Structure 1
């Protein structure tokens, strides 16, 4: 795992576009263009938060980053994570490596709470399982809050504290 650079953003955009177009893992309806990814990257890194890429065979095969949970100052130590893998990288352990490194860097950056917002979870949901294996616990469910691909979708909220309570 390494910190992402601007040179990694075309690969990040391509990975994410697959999920926008072919899944309900994200509620975006149109893939963001490279300029939007450059804006997002600058916002994340400018806030001192991690933006990582993972490689397989020398090519970007996944990415993970955290963004502020809410804009109000009282939430400044809480973030939401995002992790996406190239379709051919799923099941190879890269997601877990990315999440482990993301959590480590969040802790070093003074983050206390990490929130995962997982779309349309069901039995065997890969994202739910990945987060649960890393100590995330269920924090709630929002029903029918998104509409995509002709269906109403729920989101599952999961949370992990990075400091002892």
Structure 2
């Protein structure tokens, strides 16, 4: 599937996408988990956790992180590894835990340092500030941190899990 999508990209972008295939896959996983994170965050923040946006954000990121581990391990970094699975998972979740701080820092700064919350600003301004700081700035900072840390610490070795396809013998 990835190969057919890559072949449909016009040149010179195709060569760039193929060269950075792993990053493209990581970005697709990131986009998928961003949607999950955003939906969970907005549902929680507009419902049971209306007065606790940071708690809503942390829960949303944790759910998205579980999905991220499965997709990154089995797809984005499927040929990388170098660690026993339990060690790899522990490092993934530790780094993702640090990522939660990176993800939520812009939202915390927006709400509590810049005081972009009701009654200091309108409800519309608060919601736009929450979205921009939590779902755009926080996600971009968190993804950059996680890309670097996953490749450096969680999946450090290349081509250790490469799947070898055995040739089919010719029929007589």
- The answer to whether TM tops 0.5 is no
- The structure carrying a bigger strand percent of its residues is 1
TM-score (norm: length of structure 2): 0.25
TM-score (norm: length of structure 1): 0.26
Does 1 or 2 have the higher relative contact order (CA < 8 Å, sep 6+)?
2
- The structure carrying a bigger helix percent of its residues is 2
